[in-house]
Amino acid sequence: MKTRLKLALISAIFLCISVYGYGQDSWTIMQINVIETMNKLSETVSPEGKGADSYKNFLSEDFSRWTIGSAITNNKKKWVEGIREWFDDGWRVSDRNQKILEILILNDFAHTRRIVIETYLGPKGDISTSKAALAEVWVYKNNKWLLHRVNVHPMTND
């Protein structure tokens, strides 16, 4: 068990240093577990990803997503249907960069703030990019982190 934990920590530190910008100077094991879960969720919609069925496994049963300025909130079922349609149409997240500003863990909840820039590749080679500030709540259930709530604030791509 100690060897597994050390390997996970070393790989997470390498991942943090090599790919992403972070707001904190260091992370606890629990915070690193949240980061790893964020990355696994994102991988489900990458070119090699398994799509909506895999994506939904990272969402709590009472998941909710809201884009600031919108009058619509999506529950798990609606959001996964949208991901499925998008993925089945041939869209993928081809590139993602994030800056994690904060991860605050309180009991079985992790509150995160991050800025994410994603590039999307369409079925005919079309490319688009989005940038957003995310405020998320993750819940720890059955020995894993699940995305519970996400508020999305679209930002301009400067």
Range(s) of the domain holding residue 92: 2-155
Q: pLDDT value at position 23?
A: 66
Number of domains in the chain: 1
CB atoms within 10 A of CB 117: 15
- Helix 2-19 × helix 29-43 angle, to 10°: 60
**Residue 38: exposure state from Cβ atoms within 10 A (0-12, 13-18, ≥19):** buried
Contact 92, 47 (CB under 8 A): yes
Q: Kindly write down the DSSP assignment for every residue of 63-112, as one continuous string.
A: EEEEETT-S-EEEHHHHHHHHHHHHHTT-EEEEEEEEEEEEEEETTEEEE
CB atoms within 10 A of CB 50: 13
Q: pLDDT value at position 158?
A: 76
Q: pLDDT value at position 41?
A: 98
Per-residue pLDDT of the chain (158 residues; tens, 9 = 90+): 454 444 344 444 434 433 345 667 789 999 999 999 999 999 999 999 999 999 999 999 999 999 999 999 999 999 999 999 999 999 999 999 999 999 999 999 999 999 999 999 999 999 999 999 999 999 999 999 999 999 999 999 87
Q: From residue 68, give the alpha-carbon distance in Å to each of 14, 32, 75, 77.
A: 34, 27, 15, 20
Q: pLDDT value at position 115?
A: 98
The shares of helix, strand and coil residues in the chain, as percent rounded to the nearest 5, are 30, 45, 25
CATH code of the domain containing 118 = 3.10.450.50
Contact 118, 129 (CB under 8 A): yes
Q: Which two tokens stand for residue 38?
A: 């964020």
Q: Which two tokens stand for residue 147?
A: 């995305």
Count Cα neighbours of 39 within 13 Å in the Cβ-side half-sphere.
Answer: 15
